Amino acid sequence: MIKSDHRKKCRDHEGRSFDSIEDMCRFWKISSAAYQRRIKVYKWSKKKALTFPAKNNGGVACRDFEGNEFRSISTMCAYYGVYRKTYLYRVAHGWTVKDALLSPARGGYDDKEA
């Protein structure tokens, strides 16, 4: 797995130059982990990733394929018995929300690990 260089110079969506991704995220008051997740997993634009308010309730609210609302992706995945990382991988690779939540994992799901 290739890791991002958080010390590499970068620019925000408004053209400001920063010495690193960490410095840019600090300026916008967001963790670099949240920024990276928003860019790589959620495929958000740089502007949305930097300016969308972070929630303190444990994640980004979401809905399943039936329209049920969950306070976070983690709680939705726990409800369906799917690891959050498995769900995120599947969705990032083109799976529908329904298939990502209902298809069994190869190794199974263990409630103690979730």
Cβ pair 11, 17 in contact under 8 A? yes
Residue 62's pLDDT is 86
Q: Would you write out the chain's pLDDT as a tens digit for each of its 114 residues?
A: 445 555 689 999 999 999 999 999 999 988 888 899 999 989 999 999 999 887 655 667 889 999 999 888 989 999 999 999 999 999 999 999 999 999 987 765 554 444
Q: What residue spans define the domains of the chain?
A: 10-51, 62-113
User: 103: Cβ–Cβ under 8 A, 6 or more apart, which residues?
Assistant: 90, 95
Residue 111's pLDDT is 43
CA distance 76 to 69: 8
Cβ pair 35, 46 in contact under 8 A? no
Residue 31's pLDDT is 86
What b/e readout covers 54-76, taking b as 16+ CB neighbours within 10 angstroms? eeeeebbebebeeeeebebbbeb
